Structure 1
Amino acid sequence: MCNSFPGATAVSEVSIYDWPGMDGAAGGSPHLHTASTEAYVVQQGTGRLETLDSRGFTSTPLAPGTVVWFTPGTVHRAVNDSGDLRVLVVMQNAGLPENGDAVMTFPPEHLVDVEAYSRAASLPSRDAAGGGAAAGAAARRRRDLALAGYLELKAAVLESGVAALADFHASAAQLVSGKTGAWRGYLAGGAQRQAGLTGQQFESLESMESFYLQGARTTMGERKTRRIYGMCGRIQAWELSETAIVGT
């Protein structure tokens, strides 16, 4: 079953939250990824991508056609200035982001251990009492908590430089350290497997052996109307189907 896009990436469409934050700007929950690079391709609306990384604080304008990506460890916050900001998100290492690769910028007391973090980060299931309304309210509370920690972190970086990120980076590494065993399975079946297949194809081509090309196929990405509450906004993902494409 092919369950990711080329290169073992994941692709989703995210409508950035239009909820105003405590600083007056609307947007999502600031966070970082510990092992995956993320890219935004802006489809609609305008806004900003605020980042805290090795260069300190940066604000990058977002408009239709903008493409921006950021590596693991980059604290990022999507700001929805126009109210209708929508981005196509391309994630490295499909499976990792969905299984705890991200850590939100909660205040330090929520980062002390996995249990404390999980209490702050978890959302009710879609089947829980209150349904979508309860999930939306919880996602907004989570966003506000992450934003509170982010604004403190941003102020510290502006005052003291990038060294102010060290404690948060250490907390993030501690929180995900127990997940890497499972992550290795996603790597082995995803990006690592893809790289191995490409190496085998090179060997075939070097010997002028084209037999593997006869197994070529086309796969459809099936879009299901199922938006979930993510960190940056409402997420619409594509699930890959094994349905064959019939020629005309």
Structure 2
Amino acid sequence: MPLTASSYAVLRYLLPGAVAGVVTFLVSRVAIAPLIDAAVDAEAALEHTAGGGHDHAAELFTRSVQENVGAAVGVIGFGVVMGVLYAVAHTVVANALAARGVTPDPTALALLLAGGMFVTVALVPALKYPANPPGVGLADTVAERTSASLTMTILSVVVGCVALAAAVASVRRVPLWRLTGIAVLGYAAVMGVAGAVLPSFREVPDGFSAETLADFRLYTVLIQAVLWLVIGSVWSSMAARRRAGREPRSVSPEFSAS
């Protein structure tokens, strides 16, 4: 049965995030799961060495269920949410550019926006508050750490949106590359100040593997990069197919103003 216009619109909003979520889960299952297992084992060993009691009560869900079913639902769900937010952002930016007579290459716009959202949502917050594996971080500071990390993320997104809005508003008056440089430098300056002002936490327990910690943090960021790359790539592919169906002409790979 052919898709209606409304069904296709829903598909466009949901499919990129769903595909990205599946790919991200598969990558994280290979790259992150062994590090989590190592961290859990290290935490248990440290508790045993310190003489702490270990809870042997039966778990509601086994570790296997948590690593497979639970993680899959969480990662794919997160991917769908990020994909919808990306679709909304893409629509707003594309419409704002069109209102100013600017026609960007669909692939360039899709991938640049995905890269920008990766930087603001994942990379910059992770530079200040990197992800921690199980066993790292004090229970007494969970609320404080969560609040600080959320503040950094929200601030990064807001500042990124302001920088993007200012760039779009000036796109007809300022050369593209100069405009990009100004927006990036402005964003970096504000986030640098925020990173210096917000509290820092150094709570890695003695004896915890530095290699496991570094690998976990690195792969967490790389997996976020995979998520946003797939979202941008799928959206770009769908946009190209849709455009080809309406307008078979080739499109210049550069931004142009009419």
**Structure of greater Rg:** 2
- TM-score past 0.5 threshold: no
Larger relative strand fraction: 1
Tell me which of the two structures has the higher relative contact order, counting C-alpha pairs closer than 8 angstroms and 6 or more residues apart. Answer: 2
